[in-house]
Amino acid sequence: DGGITQSPKYLFRKEGQNVTLSCEQNLNHDAMYWYRQDPGQGLRLIYYSQIVNDFQKGDIAEGYSVSREKKESFPLTVTSAQKNPTAFYLCASELGRSGANVLTFGAGSRLTVL
Amino acid sequence: EDQVTQSPEALRLQEGESSSLNCSYTVSGLRGLFWYRQDPGKGPEFLFTLYSAGEEKEKERLKATLTKKESFLHITAPKPEDSATYLCAVLAYGGSQGNLIFGKGTKLSVKP
């Protein structure tokens, strides 16, 4: 079945550590996105990529980094510069690059800072 | 500033008790309005897209409608399996490419 796979589902990080969240899709979608979800808040865009080897910052990119070396993969690194990284992270993909199409989301990764 | 507000924050219904969720928006120009359903600890699942005022879409017990200022998600005779958080998102003309503006969601609980 086509879909988006995020791993790990749960991740614990010590302060000062970088961690990388994996996102893989087999939908042959062009665009991929990373969102952050906090209790009581709407989803906020971290980074997005419309084509391989290109990506743009979203509203809350500080303390995060991404790469898009393959169409299927869009990993997110949460760096030690991110002061409040505890959150639920969602990866999504979109057929096409217009931003007006439906997003398909992964199951999410929950990051907790110890 | 583009904004999306969902109400109520939480809604508790008895099985079979119909109701509506509201999504009001303020954007310079609406390109599309999206409804998603999110179960606890999972990613959102797409329900509907609406593009112009007067448009309506239905799926099982759900019906989404759109005006120039707001969208409603009507739930007819809900069942316990309809319990979830319902998210509304708006895409505006002139906004950053791919940048949906999400509301905070309405958490729906349906009791048997």
Cβ separation B104–A42 shorter than 8 A: yes
Interacting residues of A84 by C-beta distance below 8 A, sequence separation 6+: none
Contact present, B43 and A90 (Cβ < 8 Å) = yes
Residue in B32, B43, B103 closest to A42 by CB? B103
Quick one: DSSP state of residue B82?
G
Give the strand pairing for B70-75 and A76-78.
unpaired
pLDDT at B97 > cutoff 60: no
One-letter amino acid for residue B50 of the chain: L
Tell me which residue has tokens 């999400």. Answer: B102
> B6: nearest CA in chain A?
A42
Residues across chain A: 114
The per-residue pLDDT for B95 is: 59
pLDDT-derived band of residue B1, with 50, 70 and 90 as boundaries? confident
- The length of chain B is 112
Per residue in B13-32, pLDDT (tens digit) is 999 999 999 999 998 888 89
Min distance A87 CA to chain B CA atoms (Å)? 12
* Tokens representing residue A109 in the block: 């990764």
Contacts of B46 in chain A (CB under 8 A): 102-104
Query: Nearest C-alpha of chain A: how many angstroms from B103?
Result: 5
Could you give the strand order of the β-sheet that contains A4-7, starting from the edge strand earlier in sequence?
A4-7, A19-25, A76-78, A64-66
Q: What is the full DSSP assignment across A31-94?
A: EEEEEEE-TTS--EEEEEEEETTEEEE-TT-TTEEE--SBTTB--EEE-TT-S---EEEEEEEE
B contacts of A94 (beta carbons < 8 Å): 98
Q: What is the pLDDT of residues A25-74, one digit of tens each?
A: 999 999 999 999 999 888 999 999 999 999 999 999 999 999 999 999 99
pLDDT in tens, A10-20: 999 888 899 99
Q: Has residue B99 got a pLDDT over 80?
A: no
Residue B30 contacts A, CB cutoff 8 Å: no
pLDDT, average across residues B74-84: 98
Please give the residue that has the higher pLDDT: either B107 or A83: B107
Whether residue B100 and residue A90 make contact (CB cut-off 8 A), yes or no, is no
Amino acid identity, position B74: H
Distance CA A21, CA A9 (A): 9
Residue B39 is predicted with a pLDDT of 97
Instruction: Please give the pLDDT value at position A98.
Output: 65
Q: Answer whether A107 sits within 8 Å of B42, measured CB to CB.
A: yes
* E strands present in B54-105: 56-59, 62-66, 70-75, 84-92, 101-102
- Number of helices (H), then strands (E), in chain B: 0, 11
How many CB atoms are located within 10 Å of the residue B26 CB? 13
Average pLDDT over residues B55-69: 97
Contacts 24+ apart (CB under 8 A), B58-66: B64/B35, B66/B33
Residues of A in contact with B43 (CB under 8 A): 4, 6, 90, 92, 105-108
Least CB–CB distance from A90: residue in B43, B46, B101: B43
Whether residue A99 is predicted with pLDDT greater than 80 in this model: the reply is no
Confidence of residue B55 (pLDDT cuts 50, 70, 90): very high
Q: How many CB pairs under 8 A join A and B?
A: 68
Chain B residues in contact with A107 (beta carbon < 8 A): 41-43
Give φ, ψ of A50 to 5 degrees: -100, -25
* pLDDT exceeds 70 at position B56: yes
